[in-house]
A and B are shown apart, each in its own frame.
Chain A
C-alpha cells in the first residue's frame, strides 16, 4: 500500500540530497574537529561552512551566532533555563498558553521554582491579543518566550512586532522564540524585521534533515548560561564533540528549504487549501481551526464534531494515511490538546481534531486520496456516535439526549 505521509509537522523524511552529503562524514571524514592534525581541518571546515550557510539563510550577521544542538527541545532548554540562571534578579516571564510542551513545561517548572509566569491567552482564531501582551510586561520581566508558528494549527504569531514592543519597552527584556515550525517554511531575517529577537530555536527534522540536530540562534551579548558544560565547543556555550555529519546535513537541508520556499508558499498552500475546500464541502459539522488567522501554508487542523480523533486516525492509517490528532486518547494523558482548549474549540469538536501537514514531497494525488477516504471515515464513526442522528445526517436535535451519568 502506498503511504500518504501528511504528518510533516511531527517530522519529515530526510531528503536524499541531505543523506548524500552526510555519508562521507559517517565514513572516511570522522576526525574530531578539535584535533590538531591536518585531516581534522576537513571536519572543522565542514562545521564552519555549515554554520555560515545557516547564518546566511536566517540573515544572522555572524556565523558564531548559531549554536548547534541536538534539536529544538535542547535549544529551548538552553535558552530559557540559561537566561533564567544568568539573570537571577528578575523573576517574571511571559509566554503563551499554546506553546509546544518543550517551552510550556520549562515555564511551568520555573513556576515551581518561584518564577512568576504569565501565560497569554489566544482567541477563537488562535491569535494573541496585543493589548494583553503589553499589559503583561512588567519592570521585573526577564524573558518573553513566544513561538513563531503553532505546531498544531500552524497559526503564526507576529514575533517581529512582539519582540520590538518588548525591546522598546525595556532593552533588558530578552526575547526568545521557538521557530521550530517556521524555519524553512517562511522567510526569517534576523538582521531585518526580526532584529529584536535575541534567541531563536529550531530543529532540522521539520525540514528534511535527520532527527537529532537543531540549532539556537543567540544574539551576541545575550546573558545566557550554557546548559551543557565540559568543553570548549560552540565557544563554550554548548559543550560536546560536534555532531559533524548531522551538522553538514542540517546546512544542506536549509539550502534545499530556501530553494523550495516559493514551492511551499504557492504549491503546498494550494494543496492544503484544496483539501480544506473539498472536505468542507463533503463533511458537515466540520470546522477548520485557525482558518481566519495567518497560518503556515502546509498545516490544516480540522475538527469533526461528535466523533473522536483516535478512531479517525486508526482508519486513516488503514488507508495508508499518516496524520495526527489532538484528542485525549492520542495524548497518553487523557487530556485533549491544550492548544484547541485555549482556542475555546467547542467541547463537541475538541476530541475530534485531525491535523494534516504537508511537505514538498506531497502531491496532488496525496490530497485526492485523503479527500476520497476521509469523508467516509467520518460518516462511519458518526453512524456509531450516540450524538449523531444518521437518518437525518445531523446531530440529534435534543442536546440533552445523552445525559451524563455523572452529572
Chain B
C-alpha cells in the first residue's frame, strides 16, 4: 500500500536519514529532559531529549533551546519526531508551555498524515510529556502546584485492556476523551489499541465497553449472535472409528509398537537403517525411515513388503502403513 505523504513529511524524513545539519537526529548528553515512548515490539519507539537555558532563580522560566530524537519507525514516525523538535525549538517554549503541543499540532505541521499514521504523531506528544516530567523532577518543579495533574498524564497503572500493546484502561479512557475517539477504528488509528490480535475489541471490558461508558450507548454496535458448539461436536475423538482399535486404542497401539521394536527394527538395524513411528490412527501406522533406509531406493518396497506385512500378520490384517519422509 502506498502511503500518501505530504511533501513536508517526505522532506523532513529524507533530511533526517541523510543526516542534514538542519535535522534534529541524535541525543543530547546529560539532557535536562528525557522521555521515551513506544517499544520495538509494537513497531515504533522514540527517545526524546531536550536542553534548557536555566533561569537563575525560577526553574519554571527555563527555556528549551534544543531538542533531539532517536526514532525506530516508519517514514511518518521519523518525520513526526523531526516536526516535534522543530516546533519546540521555534517556539522558544518553557517546558510547561511545551506541554501545550498536541499531536494535532504535529499533524498540522506535517501538512496532514494518513489516517492510519496518526499514532505516529501521538507518540511524539507522549514522549514530550514524559520528558517534561523528567525535567520537572530534576529541577524540583512541582507540576501539581502549577495545576498540572501528573496522574492524568502518566501512563497510569490499571487493568490492561489491549494486551498486544500493553495499554491500560485509565490510559485508554484518557485518550478516548482527549482525542474525541468515537469508534474502535478511530482508537486503533490513534493509539494502536485493538490493532493486532483484535481480541480486546468486543470482550467484556474491552474497547467497545470503554466507548459505551464514556460516550453512552447511543452509537452501540450491533452484536451478532454468538453460535457455539456445532463445529466442536462434529469432531470425533482420536481413534474412535471402526473395529477393534476403538475398543482399546491404547493396547492396539502398544502391540504395534512392540511388534515394530521386536520384529522389525532389529532387522532394519542390521542393514544400518531404522524406523520411527510418527503416529498411529485407528489401523493406519505412519512411519519414518532413518539411517541407511532413509535414502534407500527400495524403502517403499520394504515398507509395504516387510513392515506392513509383518504388522498385518502379527497384529491385525487391516493395518496399513504410510511412509512419512
Contact = CB atoms under 8 A, between A and B. Distances in A.
Contact of A169 (B39, B70, B155, B284): B284
Interface in B216-240: 227, 230-232, 234-236, 238, 240
Interface string B3-22: 10000001001101111000
Contact of A334 (B70, B75, B195, B241): B195
A310 interface: yes
B44 interface: yes
Q: How large is the interface on B (under 10, 10 to 19, 20 to 34, 35 or more residues)?
A: 35 or more
A116 B279 CA distance: 21
A130 B325 CA distance: 8
Interface residues of A, number: 55
B322 A308 contact: no
A140 B278 contact: no
A131 B278 contact: yes
Interface string B92-124: 000000000000000000000000110100000
A315 B17 contact: yes
Interface in A378-407: 380-381, 383-387, 402-407
Contacts of A29: none
A384 B324 contact: no
Interface string A104-117: 00000001001110
Interface stretch (A204-212, A224-232, A325-333): A325-333
Contacts of B75: 310-311, 314, 329
Interface string A304-340: 0011111100110010000000011111111110000
Mostly helix, strand, loop or mixed at chain B's interface?
mixed
B302 interface: no
Interface string B49-73: 0000000000000000000001111
Given A308-B72, A385-B70, A385-B71, A404 B166 contact: yes
B74 A329 contact: yes
Nearest to B154: A405
Nearest to A89: B234
A318 B14 contact: yes
B25 to A, nearest CB: 5
Interface of A: 90-92, 111, 114-116, 130-131, 134-135, 137-140, 161, 165, 168-169, 306-311, 314-315, 318, 327-336, 347-348, 351, 377, 380-381, 383-387, 402-407
Interface of B: 1, 3, 10, 13-14, 16-19, 25, 27, 35-47, 70-75, 77-78, 116-117, 119, 126-127, 130, 155, 165-167, 171, 188, 192, 195-196, 227, 230-232, 234-236, 238, 240-241, 278-279, 281-282, 284, 286, 288, 320, 322, 324-325
6 contacts: A91-B231, A130-B278, A311-B77, A315-B17, A347-B40, A404-B45
